[in-house]
């Protein structure tokens, strides 16, 4: 839970966006983020924790509303 709190604070995101589950030192990230940069930042922040040996990043990137609209009109 503390890792999730740290992510939401550092990335200035809503707390429901990212979930972190840790098993034997491996952190599994899941949820939705607005860009690939957010996904990389989240992974990097978790990786720095001294008790984390590896990170499995399953974060998905949200499609921007404008990109969806472009797809509908093109």
Give CA angle at 64 (32, 72), nearest 5°: 130
Kindly indicate the confidence band of residue 72, based on its pLDDT and cuts at 50, 70 and 90. low
pLDDT digits (tens, 9 = 90+) for 4-34: 888 888 888 887 889 999 999 999 999 999 9
For residues 40-46, give the mean pLDDT.
94
Q: What is the DSSP letter of 62?
A: P
For residues 34-45, give the mean pLDDT.
94
d(CA 31, CA 58): 7
Tokens of residue 39, six digits: 């996904």
Of 15-19, 43-47, 64-68, the poorest mean pLDDT is in: 64-68
């Amino acid at each position: 839970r503390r890792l999730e709190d740290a992510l939401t604070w550092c990335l200035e995101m809503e707390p429901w966006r990212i979930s972190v589950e840790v098993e034997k030192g491996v952190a599994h990230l899941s949820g939705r983020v607005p860009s690939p940069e957010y996904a990389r930042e989240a992974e990097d922040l978790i990786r720095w924790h001294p008790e984390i040996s590896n990170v499995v990043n399953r974060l998905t990137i949200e499609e921007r509303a404008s990109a969806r609209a472009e797809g509908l009109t093109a």
